[in-house]
Chains A and B, each alone.
Chain A
Amino acid sequence: MPTTKATAGTAGESAAKPTIIGQLANPTRFLSLTEAVLPWLISLAAACLAVGVYLAFFVAPADYQQGDSVRIMFIHVPAAWLAMFCYSLMAVAALGTLVWRHPLADVAAKAAAPLGAAFTLLALFTGSVWGKPMWGTWWVWDARLTSVLVLFIMYLGLIALWRSFDDPGRAGRVAAILTLVGFINIPIIKFSVDWWNTLHQPASVVRLDGPTIHPTMLWPLLIMAVGFTLSFMALHFGAMRAEIFRRRVRTAQIMIAQQRAPAAASASAVTPVAESAVSGPR
């Protein structure tokens, strides 16, 4: 039964594989590794973001056309980049779930979905805050905006699909199929929306980067991108740890409920036993 393998959280048979990915198949090893790595990751991310924000807001010059509103780009571009990256990561994790049956793959995908949705929303929000003074409108049905909005809806659909199944293993595999179908579709959406817009409107599409980006702006952008990626990794590891613990608690609750079920069936007072089984082992 793959379901028990995915949810057990204590299996150690796959330790024979020499690869890093194979070794991480043991959730306990993953937990101890991330516990050691996470403080470093968080401090590194915080340092990168602090340097990046300082450079972006105090060192980088204001644009000669856009003024200070160009600084929104330092948050917008990394967020948009991570919105894409996160979906690609989920697609790889979906392959890991369906093809290799990696026990942590669907944990990784499930933990990544809300993060991806958040970064996509951040990219959309900062984009429209920038668009109001620059384009004179909060929203344009431009190719890039539209395809990112569709990406956001797909994240929300995936999260909703995950929440509608009781069994996390089954939810993970069903969501993996949808992730892969969506991954095929995202380039098509991007491409078709591009095409659709060039058919209807001339290329008045504003490009964020301009002709070339000056080094004084490029460096803060790159540091911010590294900071965003590191904080994504920290958040993702944290969310994966929380998901593993949640599944262990769930497994423990089911085991307790199963142990107490015969006793509860024989005893006449059922309610207090069931209550304590739901509220956890403590």
Chain B
Amino acid sequence: MSGFVALIAQTARLGLRAGGGALIGLIFFLAVVTVIPFGVGPDQNLLARIGPAVLWIGALLASLLGLDRLFGGDREDGALDLLIVSGQPLALVVLARAIGHWLATGLPIVIAAPLLGLLLNVEPLGLAAVTLTLLAGSPALTLIGTVGAALTAGLARGGVMIAVLVLPLTVPVLIFGVSAVNGAIADPDPFTAPFLILCAFTLGAGVLGPVAGAAALRLALD
């Protein structure tokens, strides 16, 4: 258990320190949100309407960024071999890596989302809803991305490949995240049902993601 916590802390520290992807992800999130008004025009009503969706898409894209370093560095310096022969269940190792990665990259995005929402003229209730749904849904994005990172761990240049493999799999998370926010803003639509399904995705990905990721990592080292 202490090894599990230590691995989480190590992954988070590596992400936050110089050379880690955490800050880059945050800047990328800001850049995506900034680019949108240039594309669709500065109409306040339009931005308020599409704002929650823009925040979700920005968070989704930003969550893809640092994934290639999640296992790539471990494979190059041999740490992955040590983790495998350590006798710990590999699925738990993958889960610890995913949690640490989310703490370093996902959580800052969740915290930054309401601030960027102000730029997009999203109403206060919408800001709260976006933050809450991202808090519930972004772990699922990271966990699905972890599977992609493990699948491409054996490749020298897997960065772009991860995005192509992971994006179609994240469609349901995006749909239910945005529909929960819309449910909170617009009255007739429900909020609870899509939000609970979003939580279910995160829990399900928390079980299946590490198992699939561990299987992929074993193959990557064959």
Contacts and interface: CB of A to CB of B under 8 A. Distances in A.
Interface stretch (B66-74, B103-111, B212-220): B212-220
A177 B169 contact: no
B15 to A, nearest CB: 24
A199 B189 contact: yes
Contact of B172 (A98, A157, A192): A192
Interface string A228-269: 000000000000000000000000000000000000000000
Contacts of A89: none
B165 interface: yes
B222 A177 contact: no
Given A153-B168, A157-B165, A157-B168, A177 B151 contact: yes
A164 B155 contact: yes
Interface in B137-172: 147, 151-152, 154-155, 158, 161, 164-165, 167-169, 171-172
Contacts of B161: 160-161, 164
Contacts of A153: 164, 167-168
B175 interface: yes
A21 interface: no
Nearest to A196: B175
A189 B216 contact: no
A154 B167 CA distance: 9
A196 B179 CA distance: 7
A181 B222 contact: no
A165 interface: yes
Contact of B179 (A156, A188, A199): A199
Nearest to A155: B168
A170 interface: yes
- Secondary structure of the B contact surface, majority rule: helix
Contacts of B171: 150, 189, 192-193
B136 to A, nearest CB: 15
A178 B175 contact: no
Contacts of A114: none
A131 B161 CA distance: 33
Contacts of A122: none
Chain A contact-residue range equals 20 to 34
B176 interface: yes
A177 B172 contact: no
Contact of B154 (A165, A181, A192, A196): A165
Given A160-B161, A161-B151, A195-B175, A174 B169 contact: no
B176 A181 contact: no
Given A185-B172, A192-B172, A199-B179, A174 B164 contact: no
A182 B154 CA distance: 20
A3 interface: yes
Contacts of A102: none
A173 interface: yes
Contacts of A170: 154, 219, 222
A150 B155 contact: no
- Name the residue among A150, A164, A170, A199 with the largest chain B CB count within 10 angstroms: A199
A184 interface: yes
Contact of B220 (A174, A192, A196): A174
The 7 A-B residue pairs with the shortest CB-CB distance, nearest first, are A192-B172, A196-B175, A153-B168, A192-B175, A157-B165, A188-B172, A173-B219
Interface of B: 147, 151-152, 154-155, 158, 161, 164-165, 167-169, 171-172, 175-176, 179, 182, 189, 197, 208, 212, 215-216, 219-220, 222
Given A150-B171, A174-B151, 19 more contacts: A98-B215, A150-B168, A154-B169, A157-B164, A164-B155, A173-B219, A174-B154, A174-B216, A174-B219, A177-B215, A177-B219, A181-B212, A182-B168, A185-B169, A188-B172, A189-B171, A189-B172, A192-B175, A196-B179
